Amino acid sequence: MSDEPPYTGRPTEFGDLSPFTLERTEFLGRTETPVRCFPVSLGGQVIGYLWASETEDAADFRPRRGMGTVGYEAGGPWRQRLKQARDAGFTAGEAVQLCVGGPEDPRGGHIPADAEELCLPNYEAVLRLAGAGPPPA
């Protein structure tokens, strides 16, 4: 018979789990806090919205309902820009502000320099604005 205690399978007994990490490398994709939001245009048509929390580490692109593949594919370039800004140490709000007035990307579109900034109560309001969420109660 062994003098060792029975294996309990507790996570602390697994040791180093490298190269796995729990560190988040992107902004959160939703928030309950107020957000700043800008319309994103491609070829003169609004295809979605780039938004950021005013107080949390949250920002993302939300395509407008009915944009189909164009809206879906536009998310890639925007999420890449947001990730690069976060990696460079910018806050979510700063990251979105950096995107205003840039050149039009053939897939992602752009935010015109004179675009109207919208202040919304939370991410759910962005969904409603994009036509993807329930109407306000």
Which ranges of the chain does DSSP label H, i.e. alpha helix?
Answer: 68-87, 92-99, 123-129
Based on DSSP, count helices (H) and strands (E) in the chain, helices before strands: 3, 4
**Cα–Cα dist 92/27, whole Å:** 7
Please write the tens of the pLDDT for every residue from 10-45: 455 555 555 655 677 789 888 999 999 999 999 999
Give residue for tokens 């602390």: 12
Measured CA distances, 23 to 9, 13, 20, 60, 111 (Å): 23, 21, 9, 18, 30
The 10 Å Cβ neighbour count of residue 128 is: 14
* 58-108 residue pLDDT tens: 999 999 999 999 999 999 999 999 999 999 999 999 999 999 999 999 999
Q: Is the pLDDT confidence value at 110 over 60? A: yes
> Would you give the DSSP letter of residue 12?
G
Query: What is the pTM assigned to this prediction?
Result: 0.80
Task: Report how far residue 95's alpha carbon sits from residue 39's, in angstroms, rounded to the nearest whole number.
Answer: 15
Determine contact, residues 34/4, Cβ cutoff 8 Å: no
Q: Which whole-number Å values give the CA distances from 90 to 31, 59, 86, 87, in the listed order? A: 18, 12, 5, 7
